[in-house]
Amino acid sequence: MNYAYCQRDKSGFTLIELLVVVAIIALLMSILMPALSKAKAQAKAVICLSNLHQWALAVSMYAHDNNGSFLTGSTGSTGGWAWMEVLRPYYSDDKLHICPMAKKVKYNEDYVAGGDFYAWNPGTVQDPLYGSYGINGWLCNPEPGETEVFGRPAADNWRTVGVKGAAYIPLILDCGIWDGWPLQTDEPPPLPNMMTEHGVLNSEMRRFCLNRHQEAVNGALLDFSAGKVGLKKLWVLKWHRSYDLAADPPVWPEWMEDFKDY
């Protein structure tokens, strides 16, 4: 027998060796993918916070130019309620409209299911007013003689900057619609990212209660800071002047039960 022939050089892998390599790669992927996904979400959250810092700066500059006052809330006024349009002189990059965690464009007819998406779009894809952030509707300075703004009592509005407790007053946050007037009696959504229909009062906390950033939303506050806001914390912020911080918390739905309490 030719010994050299029996000991010929083997080039290539056996089937068992290939299966072992594939199994190792699959194991590594299963370990690395969650970490990569988390890192990607964290990077998007940083961009979102940067957007909100820019929005806070834009509101600050607007207020500075208007004797410290907010928008009037009047649809017939240049200082009205299309806040992205009103603030246009104070920003130039439309990328500020969108949180990177928002996924698809939704229009008026899709608001109920729109929670996780950017829903600021009055009608057509060409409309420049779109986004994934909403302003606290209680931040406006009604014109003299007005007792209501969109059916809400004007006396509850935060009319100007520099008010006491500004660090606990929401300004602009992740949102499924462009605005909201939360009440302490509002119930959380029964399912994740399930909003109320546009125009339905007394359940507007749902517009902000989106699980967009790991049990939280990002938001800018009236002291013009920006940070992460736990979803349950939304109910202990001072949304309007007569908001009752001593009120009992709502009954949390199952999907929120284990979220951090505040």
Question: What string of DSSP letters covers 192-205?
Answer: TT-PPPTT--S-GG
Most confident of 36-40, 79-83, 211-215: 211-215
User: Residues 252, 187: contact at Cβ < 8 Å?
Assistant: no
Taking 90 as the threshold, does the pLDDT of residue 41 lie above it?
Answer: no
Taking 60 as the threshold, does the pLDDT of residue 52 lie above it?
Answer: yes
Question: What pLDDT, on a 0 to 100 scale, did the predictor assign at position 113?
Answer: 41
State both tokens at 165.
Answer: 């407790």
Taking 80 as the threshold, does the pLDDT of residue 196 lie above it?
Answer: no
Taking 70 as the threshold, does the pLDDT of residue 124 lie above it?
Answer: no
User: Residues 170, 136: contact at Cβ < 8 Å?
Assistant: yes
User: Residues 138, 156: contact at Cβ < 8 Å?
Assistant: yes
233 pLDDT band, cuts 50/70/90, is: very high
Per-residue pLDDT, averaged over 107-126, amounts to: 48
State the burial class of residue 52 (Cβ atoms within 10 Å of its Cβ: 0-12, 13-18, 19+): buried
pTM of the predicted model over 0.75: yes
Going by their DSSP bridges, the two strands 216-221 and 179-180 should be labelled as unpaired
User: Residues 195, 189: contact at Cβ < 8 Å?
Assistant: yes
Taking 60 as the threshold, does the pLDDT of residue 6 lie above it?
Answer: no
* Cα(173)–Cα(55) distance, integer angstroms: 10
- 174 φ, ψ (degrees, to nearest 5): -50, 135
Question: What pLDDT, on a 0 to 100 scale, did the predictor assign at position 13?
Answer: 66
Taking 80 as the threshold, does the pLDDT of residue 252 lie above it?
Answer: yes
154-163 pLDDT per residue, tens: 999 999 998 9
Hey, is 230 helix, strand or coil?
Answer: strand
Taking 90 as the threshold, does the pLDDT of residue 128 lie above it?
Answer: no
148 pLDDT band, cuts 50/70/90, is: confident
The better pLDDT of the pair 5, 179 is held by 179
* DSSP E strand stretches across 11-163: 133-136, 148-149, 152-153
Question: What pLDDT, on a 0 to 100 scale, did the predictor assign at position 203?
Answer: 81
132 pLDDT band, cuts 50/70/90, is: confident
Give the lowest-confidence range in 171-180, 195-204, 214-223: 195-204
User: Residues 111, 198: contact at Cβ < 8 Å?
Assistant: yes
* Cα(69)–Cα(147) distance, integer angstroms: 17
Q: What's the start-to-end Cα distance of the chain, in Å?
A: 82
- Mean predicted lDDT score pLDDT of the chain: 81
